[in-house]
Structure 1
């Protein structure tokens, strides 16, 4: 009976995460400035290999490290695209949609506080605007990342969880693979999400989402000035 109860709880948690995933994708699609150059989109070479396709290059085999205890994340840093931004926790609004970082703060990302914290076991979710009415925002250049680039998540416990990117993919909003993006894999993983996939002037909305897949590859102490 205990095993059945644990399995039932696991399925319930996964279902809740997938439901939030759909809502997160929805709000990201609806936000963004239009009068500017389009944000970069990931090339096919940065996606996961398609079964049966010849590989353009050998797959990277980055080691993983054991998950950390849960701790609140405070900043996200992505050196390759010069992102260094504070984080705000995101919850659910009364209508059960995901709350968003304030539009007025372009250099701010949010993490889904109802799921795993970055560095802890499971799949952590960090979302950010690609742009606002005032121009490019924190995740504008997310689609320019490459496999092997790193994402650093400073945490309130004084440690920085360093993730290595496994793939960057772009999805149509009507075909968002929630189970693939948000499903647990048995290790500490991270997903970064923003708008992408082209922009529809007719609908006044982005057509999809850019998703970065990464896993925990190292941990270091956070410099004192970076905390908080």
Structure 2
């Protein structure tokens, strides 16, 4: 009986944590603002529709939790440090400050990249002066590779499954960011997209790249993410 109660409490906690994450992501998707670069404030909605027809590799078994260190997407020329972030006072996922437009925020209240579930990384599309870290996110397509270095010395390699645009007036956090398969390690990369509303100082949509773990390099050991 004690084990059953503990198991039930664990499932309840997991469910509550996931519900809180979905609320936070919904708020992030609706409320996050960007300042578009002066020369080219447009986004890549058409490119973000994805490129069907790729044969995708099988999923790799999830890894033990370990804090992420850096993100690499060679085809998009992205090499960025990953910072652990929580929620803002308004309850939204906190992105990196505009003073660090080349950084990516990992929502540390959710799974770590490579561990079971859908890990969430957010970054800016642009600033008022130049493109930011995720300016080319909408150009990715199925089959492209994403690398995340981890505190345990491993690199988790993800394969893009699809790229989509979610308008903020019809935003569905569970559909956009919820794990698609319970036995996989998945990754979501999120930035702004759509049209920029200068009056509201926000974009009309979010670009969401969905990927899943397909390989890992270097031996890894179980790492307590709280101590990494």
Q: Sort the TM-score into its range (normalised by shorter chain).
A: 0.7 to 0.9
2:38 corresponds to which of 35, 39, 49? 35
Partner of 2:22: 18
Q: Which segments of structure 1 move beyond 2 Å, counting only runs of 4 or more?
A: 1-11, 39-45, 57-61, 93-100, 200-204
Q: Is 1:190 the counterpart of 2:193 in the alignment?
A: no
1:13 Cα deviation from its structure 2 partner: 2.0
Structure 2: runs of 5 or more not aligned = 220-227
Deviations 1:177-212 (A, max 9, x none): 211122232110000000001222343321010000
1:6 Cα deviation from its structure 2 partner: 4.3
Distance 1:156 1:148 in 2: 26
Which segment drifts farther, 78-87 or 57-66? Answer: 57-66
Which segment drifts farther, 81-90 or 201-210? Answer: 201-210
Partner of 1:73: 68
Partner of 1:162: 157
1:199–1:156: structure 2 CA closer, same or farther, 3 Å change rule? same
Quote the RMSD (CA, aligned, Å). Answer: 2.2
Distance 2:205 2:162 in 1: 17
Aligned pairs for 1:66-145 within 5 A: 66-145=61-140
Structure 1: runs of 5 or more not aligned = 48-56, 223-227
Q: TM-score, normalised by structure 1?
A: 0.85
Instruction: Determine if contact 1:32/1:129 at 8 Å carries over to the other structure.
Output: no
Partner of 1:50: none
1:27 Cα deviation from its structure 2 partner: 4.5
Q: Any idea what SS the aligned residue of 1:211 has?
A: strand
1:44 Cα deviation from its structure 2 partner: 6.8
Partner of 1:201: 198
1:34 Cα deviation from its structure 2 partner: 4.2
1:16–1:45: structure 2 CA closer, same or farther, 3 Å change rule? closer
